[in-house]
Amino acid sequence: MDKKVFNLFFISLVFLFLVSAVSAEDAQDGNMTVLSSGGNHIITSDLSNEDIQSQFDNANDGDTFEFTDNEYQDISLVVDKKLNIVSKKDSVVYASDEVSDKARDMGIDKTFGFYFTSNAEGSVLSGIIIIASNCDNGIIVDNSKDIKIINNKVTGGQNGVLIRNSDKVTLCENHISNAKQNGVQLQNVKNSLIEKNDISYNKKSGIETSNIEYCKILNNTIHHNDLNGISTFNKSSNTLIYGNNVYENTNGIYINSTSTNDAVKSNSMTHNRKDPKSSMGGFETGNGLLFGAGFKSSGDTILQVEYNYLAHNEFYQAKNYWENPNFELGQNWYNSNDPSNTFVCPRLLASLMTLDTFSVSNTLTLQLRDSSGRAVNEFATFQTNVEVDGNVYTATFVNGRATVAELDPNVDHNVRVQIADQYYNYDVREASGETGDAKDSKTSTSDSNTGSSGTSSSGTSEVQGNSNSQGASNGGDSSGSHIKNSDKSGNYGTNSSDIPSQDTSDNGNDALSNGDLNAGNSGSGDAMDEGKAYEIVPPVTASKELTNTSGLVVISILSIMGMLIYGYWRKDEFEG
């Protein structure tokens, strides 16, 4: 009997090991958010704010609090230890407009939804909808470290999210809107990541920074804010602003800081609008990229501005404060193929980029090239219209290249690329090679589909195709080549577009140009009508969908173990 018990115990251990292995595999597969180990707490809507705060205070580091109901009223919670705060059903939390007892005891005089203190290092906030209409901030991270704010929605507040005096904060995949000041405000922050957020309809800037270092602002969509999409003040060092889609703000990106080793790269800045009522002054609005009076950068640590797409902005594509020294931009793409109308102010030096066509494996491809003729393999994502034999395509550029259509090599083709209000003809028969080296394909203009008359021209294929990167402007207006200043010959871009003489506002002598962190409040804009015929984008290899079979594995194990145990107990009967 003892032997039988021992064998049964051994079989049970093997069973537990197999089930544990399957569970561990489940935890590693998929797109799970990995939370710290600890106890689990269910937060229901019948609990008061004081009840929830008491549970927070009495929890252990690493505990998880799951909000399970639809709505929670009058919430103002201080996170003063390492906690995971989550909701799997997008629970709505209405932030209180009164200072909570916990906050008052800690000397905090602001109202908020969630407040992360210095003791909250390693905490996570995910899946919560925070309505902060009547309080100071939706979320505050204050003097903390390694806080992750992921996949939340924050509406209202003076600032939607305020991060100050903190290190290694991750703000990722959140929707932040309708703040009375800034969507996101960073003050004295380092080593932090602001990525893949949608930030919109805030009364001031989408993102405002002051004294940041080693931060990354990546791949955010920032639109319809009443001041700037992104604003930098005071000091910024070793910060990367990359891949952001910034449109329909008063200005796209506003640099008003002392910049050291920073880079503004591969951003799309389009359809930013003039506002004569803005506190910045009408001449300081409507720009894709704007340098303020507080901008300083020079020497070996100079700010890099390159591979950005600037188009359809109402004033300048790029503008420097009138008293600043001339500043040289890197390789960028602007909204003109006419060197006398580059829409870049005379205080900025800018280089010509080109676009040519070539055929690879009988496929029409558009390729951006820098001023030296080299193919660009890093660039903002954008679109342009291309007409091939009467068929109109919307070509999406990814990293400087767009694949448009299959071509029959035995037939001559009529290829036209839309640039601003005109289509430019390309002689693709003279394009050559897998390397994309274009011969001197002749180009000429023709009337655009908007009815404007074109003027004929010829030369090499120094043209650019662009449109609103949302695919939203008059069938995807395209832009052209820019004046070449790479030889530093002193040829600057000319003054810009839309009747500035009608604007009676101040020219640069405004609060923001002088460093006011919270100046400005105005403006609204309507998106352009979408118009495109065909969507042709570069192929993307799709990963094979995986099927979770762990349940079947566990059931199979249980069945096998059941049969083994049953057979073992009936062993004596069979042997007898």
Report the distance separating Cα 364 and Cα 348, nearest Å. Answer: 35
Asked if 252 and 220 touch (Cβ cutoff 8 Å), the reply is no
Has residue 510 got a pLDDT over 90?
no
Tell me the two tokens of residue 168. Answer: 């290694």
The ranges assigned to domains in the chain are 2-28+544-575, 44-166
Q: Of the candidates 308, 287, 305, 332, which has an alpha carbon nearest to the alpha carbon of residue 495? A: 287
% the chain with pLDDT above 90: 52
Report the distance separating Cα 566 and Cα 545, nearest Å. Answer: 38
pLDDT for 466: 34
Asked if 232 and 296 touch (Cβ cutoff 8 Å), the reply is no
pLDDT for 537: 32
Asked if 101 and 82 touch (Cβ cutoff 8 Å), the reply is no
Asked if 101 and 50 touch (Cβ cutoff 8 Å), the reply is yes
Q: What is the CA radius of gyration of the chain?
A: 29
pLDDT for 566: 59
List pLDDT tens digits, range 48-105. Answer: 999 999 999 999 999 999 999 999 999 999 999 999 999 998 999 999 999 999 999 9
Q: Would you say how long the chain is, in residues?
A: 576
Which residues on neighbouring strands pair with residue 365, listed in sequence order? 358, 403
Which DSSP string corresponds to 226-281?
SSEEEEEEEEEES-EEES-EEESSSEEEEEEEEEES-EEES-EEE-----TTSTT-
Give 301's DSSP letter: G
List pLDDT tens digits, range 328-353. Answer: 999 998 866 566 666 899 999 988 78
Report the distance separating Cα 568 and Cα 70, nearest Å. Answer: 52
Q: Sign of torsion, CA 78 81 82 88?
A: negative
Q: Of the candidates 269, 324, 318, which has an alpha carbon nearest to the alpha carbon of residue 497? A: 318
- Mean pLDDT score of the chain, rounded to an integer? 76
Report the distance separating Cα 12 and Cα 409, nearest Å. Answer: 69
For β-strands 148-150 and 137-142, DSSP reports them as unpaired
pTM: 0.74
* Chain-centroid distance, C-alpha 109: 32
Min mean pLDDT across 178-192, 227-241, 339-353, 470-484 is at 470-484
Name the band, by pLDDT with cuts 50, 70 and 90, for residue 556: low
pLDDT for 128: 98
